Structure 1
Amino acid sequence: MGDILGFIFIIPLYGVLIWSFFYPKESLLWGKRWMYQEDPEISAGAIRYIKVASLITVIGMTLAFIIFILT
């Protein structure tokens, strides 16, 4: 029962991480657009960081969840 409940709670986090991977500019500005009159210029390094962090987190969460299920 706990495994299924944990999986249900992790699904939205996966969604946010996948969205951050495919749309890093939007995810970086989410909730902060009101501070700017125009969209700010986001560096390539920041975009790369968001993509890498999202990918590593998805892989890490998947491995942790698989290990949790198997034990």
Structure 2
Amino acid sequence: MIPMYGVLIWTYFCPEDSLLWGKRWMYKEEPEVSEGAIRYAKVASLTVIVVLTIIFGVLIFS
């Protein structure tokens, strides 16, 4: 679970790097990520962090 949280936190703080991870070789120049994609990546990662924390909190403390 810790690696998953690490990736989600990295996605929240560095959304451009995480969106282009493993895909930079396909472009000759540095690709430009849209603001909408950055916003979506941040919201999605934060949502998953909150939901996972709630689920694990319920499972552990119930």
TM range, normalised to the smaller chain? over 0.9
* C-alpha separation in 2, matches of 1:11 and 1:59: 14
Please show how residues 40-51 of structure 1 align to structure 2 within 5 Å.
40-51=31-42
Percent identity for Structure 1 against Structure 2: 60
Q: What letter matches 1:18 in structure 2?
A: I
Tell me if 1:24 matches 2:24: no
Structure 1 residues not aligned, in runs of 5+: 1-9
Output the aligned Cα RMSD. Answer: 0.6
Deviation at 1:29, TM superposition (A): 0.3
Scaled by the length of structure 2, the TM-score of the pair is 0.96
* C-alpha separation in 2, matches of 1:44 and 1:54: 15
* C-alpha separation in 2, matches of 1:41 and 1:26: 11
Deviation at 1:41, TM superposition (A): 1.1
CA deviation string 1:28-50 (max 9, x = no partner): 00011110111111110000000
Aligned length: 62
Q: What letter matches 2:23 in structure 1?
A: K
Task: Spell out structure 1 runs of 4+ moving beyond 3 A.
Answer: none
Within the candidate set 34, 44, 49, 1:58 is matched to 49
Q: Which has the larger radius of gyration?
A: 1
